[in-house]
A and B are shown apart, each in its own frame.
Chain A
Amino acid sequence: MATRAGALSYLAWRALVAHPLRRLFRRRGTGLERFRAAYVAEGLGPTTPEDRAIGEAASACVACGLCELGCELAVAAPAVRALGLHAAFRLYSRSVAELPLATSALAACAGCDGCDALCPTGVPISRIVRHLRAKVLGEGAAPAQGDRG
């Protein structure tokens, strides 16, 4: 009984005192700012229309692996081959929160655009990779060369 009374009084304290006080004194901001404060740390940032378009384009990937034949990453960066650059948007098309797992692969992209012409389902791979790269590494992190969007 003591446990139950303790729990109920704790809930009453939260509902009647702590929560109203927090609402009164919290930092205000726009809805977007509050959303970011709550969720970005968990990798669940807001989805822009651009993000949604990229996600839809990425979802046409059938994971056949043909693009990897034209990917210089395979030669240049042995340490990240286990994941592979193109796994980045396969991961991304399932869950935004998993995108940071592909950071090192995205960082290693040479931006050579060798992948685009190899995709049977017409996924605009280099455009997706550029977008995801900017997303994980911060804006302005586009590959040095081959930026012909």
Chain B
Amino acid sequence: MVSPRAVAADVLVVGGGMAGAIAALAAREAGARVVLARRAPGATALSSGAIGVAPDPLALPGEPLRAAREPLEAARRLARLRPDHPYAVLGERLGALPEALAFAARVLAPLLAPPLERPRFLATPFGTAVPAALCQRSQAAGDLLAVDGALVVAGLRGHLGLDAALAAAGLERYRARGGPRAFAVEVDPGLGEVGLFRPHELARALEPPGAAEALGRAIRAALPAGAGAALVPPVLGLRPEARVPERVAAAAGIPVAELLADVPSVPGVRLQAALEAALAAAGVEVVQGALQGAGPGKPAMVGADEITAPRWVLATGRFVGGGVVRRGTLREPVLGLPVQAAEGREAGVDLAARPAASLTGAARSGPQPLLSAGLRVDALLRPLDGRGRPAADGLFAAGAVLGGHEQASDGTGLGVAILTGYLAGRAAARPGGGE
């Protein structure tokens, strides 16, 4: 039996996705000694790799390109309509959103493109447009409002998972609303006779010298007249330092961008890797393993490490990350905090006592309490106990473990993770606990 290695820190962050990493980086920047405990990649690695912050709640569904408000204004509108959403719960602190987004853009600068005043409108493989406040450099040239000329959706022969004709036909619908003309072409990535590729295999195969250039030349040969940009499946390299998007674009002679991804998502994996690189560069100690502990100030075991920190940030995610689990009823497994705060008419109901199967509604468009289940917090992001009081001194929560919003589908998941991670990390860095 190996005796545990004792680690003392100012802040322990539990969870290594977007919320946890931003919290750790924000606390580190404020001068705290930070340890981050992570078990495995979670929902951030499964994301499209672009960062949606707040879709405009007043935009018409058929007019997605009109929803070009800047993130804070859109988030304020959303908060007014949805009182249980973390943006609303934060109250005035929602005003820190631009600062938090700028922080995320700065710490992830090698990967992310500089933000615009408005969201970028990025195309999905299904031919729909999704607003993103921040996106990767490899995605930026696909902004539907910025394409100069026709947009060419280039399917790659042998790639499982993209129907270029479907995507182009879908995007063509936006033409009357300010979008570009869209064409579909098929190109051969020139990778030999290996046959069918899964996305990450294609991404790896495009990294060696010559492979990205060959794809770029194949795109150039397939371009119709008047092409202004090309969209390709999201497979342009796993490692940003291989510079696959830049090499493809240079050989193609026009801007080349990736479509957003479905799982398994190469850009999502890239986003997770960029967070981990930023943690290492900032001097955050990352320990790997499941955490067992009783809360801030008491020792917590992660693998062979015993970590003691007076302030914790719980950023354990929701169902994918394991921050909320379903074992007959819904539970928060790390500290046993009550799971509450379903959105809409069920708001505030204590879900922990109810069987999870009773928490879904038949109406597709109605609120689904199960999908908004999570911790209830106050405006300082302190988790509340069953009586509405802070559950523990020095405890904060951030990201998808917060309840009150359907983070997987409402377009605010990574935005909430960045804002609450930033605020919780900065609050946890202060000995007073953020009052």
Contact = CB atoms under 8 A, between A and B. Distances in A.
Interface in A68-95: 68-69, 74, 78, 81-82, 84
B320 A81 contact: no
A15 interface: no
Interface stretch (B42-50, B174-182, B249-257, B422-430): B42-50
A120 B198 contact: no
B360 to A, nearest CB: 17
B contact face: mostly helix, strand, loop, or mixed = loop
A74 B201 contact: yes
B322 A122 contact: yes
Given A68-B264, A117-B288, A120-B320, A82 B196 contact: yes
A62 interface: yes
B200 A69 contact: yes
Contacts of B321: 120
Contacts of B198: 65, 68, 74, 81, 84
A82 B320 CA distance: 25
A122 B264 contact: no
Nearest to A79: B195
A45 to B, nearest CB: 30
B279 to A, nearest CB: 16
Contact of A121 (B45, B290, B322): B322
A contact face: mostly helix, strand, loop, or mixed = loop
B40 A118 contact: yes
A32 interface: no
Given A81-B201, A118-B41, A69 B269 contact: yes
B39 A122 contact: yes
A127 B143 CA distance: 45
B234 to A, nearest CB: 13
Given A78-B195, A117-B288, A122-B40, A66 B201 contact: no
B11 to A, nearest CB: 24
Interface residues of B, number: 22
Given A74-B198, A120-B322, A121-B320, A66 B39 contact: no
Contacts of B322: 120-122
A64 B195 CA distance: 22
B320 A65 contact: no
A112 interface: no
B39 A65 contact: no
B363 interface: no
Given A120-B320, A120-B321, A121-B322, A66 B196 contact: no
Contacts of B357: none
Interface in B41-83: 41-43, 45-46
A119 interface: yes
Interface string B230-269: 0000000010000000000000000000000001100001
B41 A120 contact: yes
Interface string A17-55: 000000000000000000000000000000000000000
B194 interface: yes
A70 to B, nearest CB: 10
Q: List the 4 closest A-B pairs by CB distance, nearest first.
A: A65-B264, A120-B42, A120-B320, A120-B40
26 contacts: A62-B320, A64-B46, A64-B263, A64-B264, A64-B320, A65-B198, A65-B263, A65-B264, A66-B264, A68-B264, A69-B264, A69-B269, A74-B198, A74-B200, A74-B201, A78-B195, A81-B196, A81-B198, A81-B201, A82-B196, A118-B41, A119-B40, A120-B41, A120-B43, A120-B46, A120-B322
Interface of B: 39-43, 45-46, 194-196, 198, 200-201, 238, 263-264, 269, 288, 290, 320-322
Given A69-B200, A120-B46, 13 more contacts: A64-B320, A65-B198, A66-B45, A66-B46, A68-B264, A69-B269, A78-B195, A81-B198, A82-B195, A118-B40, A118-B41, A120-B40, A122-B290
Interface of A: 62, 64-66, 68-69, 74, 78, 81-82, 84, 117-122
